[in-house]
Chain A
């Protein structure tokens, strides 16, 4: 599918505000930092008796998931509801696309129902960009994961978790471990970590699961877990997707655990206060030992909690720029 030459350009207004949120690639540091700052504010919403803020009141948000997801879809749905939006979930597998309606036709039909924002997950890389190019002005598109390309809201909630627990990015050494080849999360994380000025980004995994092109992204490659984990501040594990295990890229689940699984013993190689992250859902005994997942160093559940606030921040930042555009167009015509 088509990807814009400048991947960041489609998602920004002329004033540099987010109008879609499709990828972390090409987004300036100031904007990423602003998302993290707003996330901090939205964390406070959960202390209220009424856990809502009225920012998206009267707006209609539709989740459009062409691929299974529990956590991402529910946190997006909750985030939109906490912002007082009207939320609809479309399970595309059970919709008209199975009757042969094209994605484009479906999109235009949904637009006719006055949807203000689409949250899109799709197995093909570039799908969210495609949707963003097709929607009419004033409609925002959020990428909730497209193929192997990007999962920017996950990356931002991870950045928030790191900043919340570790502070500044500059002094940190951060290791991403596992199947990088098929991971949209890893790609989005690497762009964000580099933009935010992380001291050192390491990527650890078997040769078959690390793309060659990665070396141009200012990361250090390791194929040995023990060496790669030495003195790191943050360990980000990736989920080993079951469909990869049956392929010839990996010998076996057991062998992956032996070589790249994070055990308590391996964790000791990192700094004593290192944190362990995972986008979930975790495979205990595959990429992470059960006791590590439940240890004090694990921030996996904090990630889920922060994910809600991060998505509230991103939703309210994007929907608003669309309004402003409309506003200025109206102003010009009146």
Chain B
């Protein structure tokens, strides 16, 4: 592979990426008649991003937050993750349009777990997946509907979202 990054790190403009993604997502939800939608973020980065998206998409509704540690498929190998906050959905998702939000998608396993948990809360009319960064490393047939940035990292390299204000990307090793 000649280029490691679909978007080169020095060219990352997070604010523009979030703004573009919000616009596309909003247009889509309007076109599909999925509005109003409830925003549900996966802890912790996904919740911060959901808060940002909500400003445009659904400013008057609270944000749901999912802690997917009870649904992870690596429980038997890794045990319970150090807990973040318990999941909180301050609304019923029954027959509602849900936008599921995460900061980074890699294998897709987190999303699989999140969908399982989400459906334990009820049966939503639809679920749209919005992710800030797609690392294009899916191991499951799960692809985000909306992506802020596509990154192609070197093996061992990791990225996560720092926040909540301001939102910034943090790499586990410096990117040249």
Binding site for B on A (CB under 8 A): 17, 34, 37-38, 40-45, 47-50, 52-55, 316-317, 320-321, 323-324, 327
Contact = CB atoms under 8 A, between A and B. Distances in A.
Chain B CB count within 10 A is highest, among A40, A41, A43, A321, for A41
A38 B116 CA distance: 20
Contact of A48 (B80, B82, B121): B121
B164 interface: no
A41 B80 CA distance: 11
A173 B46 CA distance: 41
Interface of B: 67, 69-71, 75-77, 79-80, 82-83, 85-89, 94, 116, 119-122
Given A44-B86, A317-B79, A320-B80, A53 B70 contact: yes
A50 B119 CA distance: 8
B80 A49 contact: no
Contact of B86 (A41, A50, A317, A320): A41
Contacts of B77: 323-324, 327
Contacts of A34: 82
Contacts of B83: 37-38, 40-41
| Residues of A contacting B: mostly | helix
Nearest to A17: B79
Given A41-B83, A55-B80, 15 more contacts: A34-B82, A37-B83, A38-B83, A41-B70, A42-B86, A43-B86, A44-B67, A44-B88, A48-B121, A49-B120, A50-B119, A53-B70, A54-B70, A320-B75, A320-B80
Contacts of A52: 120
B79 A41 contact: no
12 contacts: A17-B79, A37-B83, A40-B83, A44-B67, A44-B86, A44-B87, A47-B87, A47-B88, A50-B121, A52-B120, A53-B71, A317-B80
